[in-house]
A and B are shown apart, each in its own frame.
Chain A
Amino acid sequence: MRAATRLSWAIAATTVLALTATSCGGGNGTAGGSAGVVRASWGDPQHPLEPANTNEVQGGKVLDMIFRGLKRYNPETGEAEDEMAESIETTDQQNFTVKIKPGWTFSDGTPVTASSYVDAWNYGAHLENAQIASYFFQFIEGYEDVHPSDENATPSADTMSGLAVVDDHTFTVRLTEPFSLWPETLGYAAYAPLPRAFFDDHDAWLAKPIGNGPYKIDTYTKSQSMKLVKYEDYAGPDKAQNEGVELRVYTDNNTAYTDLQAGNLDVIDDVPASQLSNAEKDLGDRFINQPAGIIQTVSFPLYDPAWSSPEAAKVRQGLSMAIDREEITSKIYFDTRTPATDFTSPVLGDAGGYEEGLCGEFCTFDPERARQLIEEGGGLPGGKVTLSSNVDTGSHRQWMDAACNSINNVLDNTAACTVNPVPTFADFRNQVTNRQMTGMFRTGWQMDYPLIQNFLQPLYYTDASSNDAVYSSPEFDRLVNEANSASDEEEAVAKFRDAERVLVQDMPAIPLWYQNGTAAYSTRVSDVKLNPFSVPVYTDIKVS
């Protein structure tokens, strides 16, 4: 009898526990979308949603909806067009006078003024705010004072001396050196203006960011969902064509794809690799596959004596010619990558600096010539080479195996190229930035703004921020400097192309392929397209 009581007590306790848990699960889920609202997939942003602290696409997606800067990149052509800027004038490519259009407001009702920009840029640049994308402000005079490049120095100023507010709608910018294309970079989210609320109550702002874009945030539940509604007083030309956007976080894009098929989701902007082979069959026209501003390359550790000799350039060129890009992009990526024939991206367009075939024979698969070049260059250092990458994302393992196989087949030696998988991205990046690589390693580049400068200078200029190969060429540096001080865009682009030709000869990195952006949408919406950053243009989406 006693045992029976104890047993029933245990059952009672379990029931109470279960009921408590149930009561936590209350609340009403919204399975169907409300009228006129686009339901789109989202990923959890890695950083707090500050404009200068966002360097990945998921946070960028939101910033693109709630902010508008001085310039905006045309979703179709990628060209930088005036958005909030009335005019940006300069006579010497170094001193700029920026006039902004009146009548713009933040979604809390406060007006956007010249100081909204200057304060935001000073915040983004200042070292103590530890903003990931602060390097965007490095061209402005006084950046070194608020953000010393030396690791142990402390800032000696609060604001950059190159920025000055003239009146409510005018401010001036002085750069450290001439940079003709500088106004074209201003479409990037890091240059967005910030309202007073950002500085007055930072935590509240982070919990529910306020911007000046076509949408305002209605509710934001971190790492679950964000509901954005049309901002009625938006002053820009690209007003939202729908009532709002509901972003839902998916931990796995396969689930998002299934949800799209089931009619619970309208737009996904990253079709999972495993579904690429049937996406076209499943969705027909509702599957988008177009070039994005991303190029994948393989870099060489030029700091390693084995790779820095003058003859080693031939070996690098040979290795480039030994990789069968066509085969890999079609078999592994189902044509969502395009074999690269230069160091930029097709999204730039011919006028912007993209040139198909600039790399010439060195980016074409040619086993015979590849073998020859590698031999002329003295063979692979030590007779073999490794190919390293993190393997936790992006099916890197598959293409690395394929690339190595391709090299091995060309050299007729199964041990010539071996894959060195690094478990996590963090670990891989550490090894790269600490210069511990001994063989080839993966380097990818997603453009910050659609300019040829962005594909060359940060990656290959001496001591540039992302020069992982530690490449240094006086000739390349000279051409880049000349391009930056050129007075018109055409001349600048031509100079950058010349610089790119230097890269082909030295081959510090092998261009592999251009990455495409993929998206898919439901029958409930229309007019879905991707911008050059492969983010859906949400404002244009119409809901039927």
Chain B
Amino acid sequence: MGRYVVRRLLQMIPVFIGATFLIFVMVYALGDPVAALFGDRAPDPATARQLRAEFNLDKPVWQQYLLYMGNIFTGDFGTAFNGEPVTDLMGRAFPISFRLMLTALVIELVLGILLGVITGLRRGRAFDTSILMATLVVIAIPTFVLGTTAQFLFGVQLGWINPAVSPEGRFSELLLPGIILALVSLAYVTRLTRTSVAENTRADYIRTAVAKGLPRRRVTVRHLLRNSLIPVVTYLGADIGTLMAGAIVTERIFNIQGVGFQLYQGILRQNSPTVVGFVVVLVLIFLLANLLVDLLYAVLDPRIRYV
């Protein structure tokens, strides 16, 4: 298993270099960001040149990339246009996005699997049908509709929460944004678990377990659920990245200055250090989450072994 992990980690290096280069070139292709700094006013050529030199924008793209990569290894991720080091931006954005992701992940994990198992065991009954309907509704309604409605209801009408999350972003504040963010994935997790459970109830080893006279609870949790979780875990692994980077809609509604927001801002202002810096970390998180998922397979299914 150790060797497997090392091999996987080594594979990340080319993926890392490739991803950063692609993103760098893409942001570069958007054009010259300096003009926008001057607002609706035509840039003063001499000042513009000075700014280009400051951000290395006057060099050819390959040289910019090499300079940038060279700095990354010394821990310098460059500077955003407001003069702040990108590492500072990351230091603020990632913890809060991580907490939001964690809240959402726990919600969809616990609720999704619970609902999935219950509906999977009671296929075709009233409860199953109503949950299926509910998941369809959740998937169909855009997040921002649900988010703003919930925000208005709980924040303004009932006054239970503050509509905007404070910069500290405590877990209690992140509960509602977490639920909103989790809803769509929750629906998918429920459906995935349901199908998987429904299929496995007919499997031989379940019949055997029941025939052995094992308690119902043990059959469900140890035999049925564990074997049904593999597709769900695969989905969740990929979802970690989506929840962190793709939370921009939820983040905007609740005024959370997370990863999604900083990326959006970076793209609008065409600031490659910001965009590339954030994407680099996201790529790493994605790769690590996938590695974790692969390792979890072995935990869930003893037949899978890594050497």
Contact = CB atoms under 8 A, between A and B. Distances in A.
A456 interface: no
Nearest to B292: A10
Contacts of B156: 258, 261-262
Nearest to B254: A255
Contacts of B9: none
Contacts of B170: 25, 27, 29
A18 interface: yes
Interface residues of A, number: 74
Interface string A44-88: 111110000001100000000000000000000000000000000
Interface string A384-426: 0000000010000000000000000000000000000000111
A254 B44 contact: no
Contacts of A199: none
Interface string A228-264: 0000000000000000000011111011101101101
Interface stretch (B63-71, B78-86, B192-200, B279-287): B78-86
Contact of A254 (B38, B148, B270): B148
Given A46-B81, A151-B46, A446-B40, A258 B171 contact: no
Interface string A430-462: 101100000000011110000000000010000
**Chain B interface, >50% SS class:** helix
B81 A430 contact: no
Interface stretch (B12-20, B94-102, B127-135, B211-219): B94-102
A466 B83 contact: no
A134 to B, nearest CB: 6
A222 B95 CA distance: 16
B302 interface: yes
A261 to B, nearest CB: 5
Contacts of B39: 55-56, 446
Interface stretch (A142-150, A182-190, A303-311): A142-150
B47 A132 contact: yes
Contacts, number: 191
A35 interface: no
Interface in A119-174: 127-128, 130-132, 134-135, 147-153
The residue among A24, A147, A255 with the most chain B CB atoms within 10 A of its own CB is A255
Contacts of B204: none
B84 A222 contact: yes
Contacts of A18: 102, 106
A147 B269 CA distance: 26
A43 to B, nearest CB: 11
A26 interface: yes
Interface residues of B, number: 68
A132 B102 CA distance: 41
A27 B269 CA distance: 32
A262 B159 contact: yes
A134 B35 contact: no
A7 interface: yes
Interface in B149-177: 151-152, 155-156, 159, 162-164, 166-171, 173
A149 B45 contact: yes
A221 interface: yes
Top 3 nearest A-B pairs (CB, nearest first) are: A426-B36, A29-B166, A48-B83
Interface of B: 30-33, 35-51, 54, 81-84, 88-89, 92, 95-96, 98-99, 102, 106, 148, 151-152, 155-156, 159, 162-164, 166-171, 173, 251-257, 261, 265, 267-270, 296, 298-299, 302
16 contacts: A3-B299, A21-B98, A25-B95, A134-B47, A147-B47, A222-B88, A252-B253, A256-B255, A258-B151, A261-B156, A426-B33, A429-B40, A430-B32, A433-B42, A465-B41, A465-B44
